[in-house]
């Protein structure tokens, strides 16, 4: 299954890639939710690890909030009234569609001081939204998904620098994946909470941050969230369609509805924090759908479920290939030895399976402790390397991909 673009040339479809590579499927009896198969779960776990390391490196504290909350939380946040798609269950409970009210409840667990701010909370949160069945579309639109949610509670004087920092981080993250986002400033909707003065201030804050970061953003009147305006990050898929992935939002409304405060010196009340909502990749499933199509399933080394295939030319080279495979595995590389069939066929199969590297071991290489290093779809052919150096180089490439440079 492939899409057709305007020129009628085939482009990859993430659902077809998911089936072909054994990454995931969406069971008919669990419509709108993903069943991650073993290779796909490796990809998802690697992406979650990337996000977790990223937020740790940038001063966030990770939390995990409950999936079910009593209706009082959604009444207080306004989601019960303003948010379409809230999943309700028996007993006056609803499944969380977003993590922001839960993070407000965490903020309220004890008095907060100005010295604690900005308080940056991050969560790889499992969210559920009751989307209409006709709107479901593979990984691009689901009822259940994982979002790289984060919320920053900042003093008003800190908010501009925090938003600018979120924009800089977003630019770096998308560049890391070879993606180019465009930005959209979504302004106050007709149905909203909060006084116009708060919305004036919030929209001015976002315009200032966009200007400070040297970015351009098309303004979209009426497209903001009910609690605040937002900067949405869009990426085009293989058909040229724009999908929102990340978002940066400023919110004066939820801190007011939850009566969030912080204290200054001498434990006196110093004011109300500003809340910044920030998702970089957004829903990980949607991000993976776009990214799988972007790279036609050939993921970067660190993210690929099968990273290296070791190909001995014949049975006599098998012991050397097994030794190389052990070195790779000891270095944390997902490797396998494949001997069945002619070498050319095994190379073609590795390409079809989107395995980033093939390490070929012939008679000379086995004798000299070397390997022919071949990269899938790479120009420039292949190179013969010392096996120890090849393992070191591949381990370094994988490690570099797992962290933002």
Tens of pLDDT, residue by residue, the chain (405 residues): 344 443 444 678 999 999 999 999 999 999 899 999 999 999 999 999 999 999 999 999 999 999 999 999 999 999 988 888 899 998 899 999 999 999 999 999 999 999 999 999 999 989 999 988 888 889 999 999 999 999 999 999 999 899 999 999 999 999 999 999 999 999 999 989 888 998 998 999 899 989 888 889 999 999 998 889 999 999 987 778 788 999 999 999 999 999 999 999 877 888 999 999 999 999 999 999 999 999 999 999 999 999 999 999 999 999 999 999 999 999 999 999 999 999 999 999 999 999 999 999 999 999 999 999 999 988 767 999 999 999 999 999 999 999 997
Q: Which residues of 187-220 are buried (b: 16+ CB within 10 A; e: fewer)?
A: bbbeebbbeeebbeebbebbbebbeebebebeee
For residue 333, give its domain range.
Answer: 308-401
Residue 230 falls in the annotated catalytic set? yes
Please tell me whether residues 318 and 361 are part of one structural domain: yes
Q: Does the residue 303 lie in any domain?
A: no
Any domain includes 301: no
Q: Is 96 designated active site? A: no
Residue 109: other Cβ atoms inside 10 A: 7
337 and 251 within one domain = no
Length reported for the chain: 405
Domain total of the chain = 2
Half-sphere exposure of 177 (CA within 13 A, CB side): 24
- Told to judge if 128 belongs to the known catalytic residues of this protein, a careful annotator would answer no
Residue 300 falls within a domain, yes or no?
A: no
Q: Is residue 207 part of a domain?
A: yes
Q: Is residue 140 part of a domain?
A: yes
For residues 182 and 120, membership in a common domain is answered with yes
Tell me if the pTM is above 0.85: yes
149 is catalytic: yes
Determine the Cα–Cα distance for residues 8 and 6; give it in Å rounded to an integer.
Answer: 5
Task: Give the model's pLDDT for residue 10.
Answer: 64
Q: What is the structure's pLDDT at 134?
A: 82
Task: Output phi, psi for 332, to 5 deg.
Answer: 85, 15
Is 127 catalytic? The answer is no
Q: Active-site residue among 103, 129, 192, 327?
A: 129
pLDDT of residue 227: 87
| Residue 79 annotated in active site | no
State both tokens at 84: 């379409």
Catalytic residue among 141, 151, 188, 294: 151
147 catalytic per annotation: yes
Is 76 in the same domain as 148?
Answer: yes
Q: Which of 79, 96, 230, 346 is catalytic?
A: 230
- For residue 330, give the CATH number of its domain: 3.40.50.800
């Amino acid at each position: 299954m492939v899409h057709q673009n305007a020129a009628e040339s085939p482009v990859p479809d993430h659902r077809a890639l998911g089936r072909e590579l054994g990454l995931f499927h969406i069971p008919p009896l669990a419509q709108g939710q993903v069943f991650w198969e073993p290779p796909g779960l490796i990809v998802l776990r690697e992406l979650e690890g990337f996000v977790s390391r990223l937020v740790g490196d940038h001063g966030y504290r990770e939390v995990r909030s409950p999936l079910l909350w009593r209706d009082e939380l959604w009444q207080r946040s306004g989601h019960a009234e303003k948010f379409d798609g809230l999943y309700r269950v028996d007993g006056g409970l609803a499944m969380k569609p977003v993590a922001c009210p839960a993070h407000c409840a965490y903020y309220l667990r004890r008095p907060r001081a100005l010295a604690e701010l900005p308080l940056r909370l991050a969560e790889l949160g499992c969210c559920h939204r009751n989307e209409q069945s006709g709107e479901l579309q593979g990984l691009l639109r689901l009822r259940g998904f994982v979002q790289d949610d984060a919320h920053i509670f900042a003093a008003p004087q800190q908010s501009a620098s925090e938003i600018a920092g979120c924009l800089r981080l977003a630019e770096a993250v998308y560049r890391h994946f070879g993606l180019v986002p465009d930005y959209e400033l979504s302004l106050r909707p007709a149905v909203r909470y909060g006084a116009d003065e708060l919305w004036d201030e919030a929209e001015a804050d976002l315009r200032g941050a966009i200007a400070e970061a040297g970015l351009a953003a098309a303004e979209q009147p009426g497209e903001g969230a009910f609690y605040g305006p937002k900067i949405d990050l869009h990426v085009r898929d293989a058909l040229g369609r724009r999908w929102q992935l990340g978002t940066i939002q400023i919110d004066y409304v939820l801190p007011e509805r939850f009566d969030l405060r912080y204290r200054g010196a001498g434990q006196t009340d110093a004011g109300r924090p500003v809340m910044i909502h920030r998702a970089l990749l957004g829903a990980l499933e949607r991000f993976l759908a776009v990214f799988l199509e972007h790279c036609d399933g050939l993921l970067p080394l660190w993210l690929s479920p099968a990273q290296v295939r070791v190909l001995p030319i014949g049975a006599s080279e098998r012991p050397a290939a097994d030794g190389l495979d052990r070195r790779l595995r000891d270095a944390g590389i997902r490797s396998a030895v494949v001997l069945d069939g002619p070498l050319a066929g095994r190379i073609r199969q590795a390409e079809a399976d989107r395995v980033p590297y093939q390490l070929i071991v012939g008679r000379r290489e086995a004798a000299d402790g070397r390997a022919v290093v071949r990269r899938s779809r790479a120009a420039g052919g292949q190179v013969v390397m010392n096996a120890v150096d090849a393992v070191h180089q591949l381990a370094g490439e994988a490690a570099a991909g797992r962290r933002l440079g």
